[in-house]
Homo-oligomer: A and B are copies of this chain.
Amino acid sequence: AGSTLAAPAIAQEQPEVTWRLTSSFPKALDTIYGGAEVLSRMVSEATDGKFNIQVYSAGEIVPGLQAADAASSGTVQACHTVSYYYVGKNPAWAVGAAVPFALNARGMNAWHYHGGGIDLFNQFLGKQGLFGLPGGNTGVQMGGWFRKEINTVNDLQGLKMRIGGFAGQVMQKLGVVPQQIAGGDIYPALEKGTIDATEWVGPYDDEKLGFQEVAPYYYYPGFWEGGPTVHFMFNKSEYENLPPHYQSLLRTACQAADANMLQQYDWLNPKAVQSLVSKGAQLRPFSQEILTASFDAANEVYSEVSAENEDFKMLWESVKDFRKQWYLWQQVSENTFDTFMMIQQRNNAL
């Protein structure tokens, strides 16, 4: 009798819950794929193994770009993905992750956690049966790898570049011909000249693919992803059916895993960029002409999309209001400190 009485009491306290999480990323991208493993470890350890999130890499259950659909439909309870993968359904998806010339990583975090971004984005995600929380950030990405130098907007005419979604739409206005190619096929396409350029992530991830051997010009910054937010998304009913203490733990662990990814990239990228340069990567900043033309093209896209899409408009206006304040403050704060420190670095004084 003791055990039958004891069992429900224990079960109420720490019920056994097993979830499947499908990642949009392959295991080879250990930092970004690893973000879901970090979440899983945190949740499992804190519950002595009772709340168990099993992580599957892209393709094990569904293809990487169908991760959100799988969580929405209940095929899995959770996914780890980037919301801009789903702009084909509705451009509003992109705003929760990154759109061109928006916020850097700290700005995105401020907006998500304290500027109402999480709630606003969940007003949208809720309609798809999802509940989402920030689940990582890469910091500003690199502009990608180019076979030839590009200096002017004219150099972009007819340029075949692997670049997707919203960023592709913006670049198309400048004459770029966006290409959709899976990660593993990029290197041979660049080698053969089937494409002229590709964007990927940043130094640590890019180094594994060896692009410097076939497209050595490595441009920066990736202005279409100033600080992209990766997301954990949960099937809304499954999340709501969790006991409140598991919900709370999940939110805490998401916030910790979110921060951890950026912390890890910030440790790994400084070494990787130096290593890439030693292997032949030629670092090049995008010219002001190209940046300015791209900024104008992005603003055109925002006007067009806002005119016809209420979800997009609501989210974008919220980001845009904060963007103005954020970059004013950046001039007074981080930028003056960082600039002084960068001058010392260039003078070999650090």
Contact B336 A114 (CB under 8 A): no
| A304 touches B (CB below 8 Å) | no
B334-A283 in contact (CB<8A): no
Q: Which of A45-53, A57-65, A77-85, A86-94 contacts B (4 or more CB under 8 A)?
A: A45-53
Cα distance A270–B327 in the bound complex, in angstroms = 8
Q: Which residue of B lies closest to A291 (CB)?
A: B340
- Residues on B with beta carbons closer than 8 Å to the beta carbon of A226: 337, 341
Q: Mark A1-41, 1 if CB is under 8 A from B, else 0.
A: 11111100110011000000000000000000000000000
With a cutoff of 8 Å between Cβ atoms, the chain B residues found around residue A142 in the complex are 332-333
A-side interface mostly: helix
- Other-chain contact of A338, B268, B285, B335, B345 (Cβ < 8 Å): B335
State whether A113 and B1 are in contact (beta carbons under 8 Å apart), knowing that A104-B338, A220-B336 are contacts in the complex: no
**B residues near A301, Cβ cutoff 8 Å:** none
Query: A239 at interface (Cβ–Cβ under 8 A)?
Result: no
CA gap between A260 and B134 in the complex, in Å? 12
Q: Does A323 contact B (CB under 8 A)?
A: yes
* B338 touching A269, Cβ below 8 Å: no
How far is B333's CA from A283's CA once the two chains are assembled, in angstroms?
Answer: 11
Identify which of A120-128, A160-168, A208-216, A243-251 touches chain B.
A243-251
Q: Is B266 in contact with A255, judged by CB distance below 8 angstroms?
A: no
A-B interface, 7 closest residue pairs, ranked by CB to CB distance from nearest: A2-B5, A114-B267, A259-B259, A110-B266, A45-B248, A270-B329, A270-B325
22 contacts between A and B (CB under 8 A): A2-B6, A5-B5, A45-B244, A45-B249, A46-B46, A46-B252, A48-B245, A106-B263, A107-B266, A110-B264, A113-B264, A220-B332, A221-B333, A249-B249, A256-B256, A258-B259, A259-B259, A270-B326, A273-B329, A295-B344, A331-B346, A335-B342
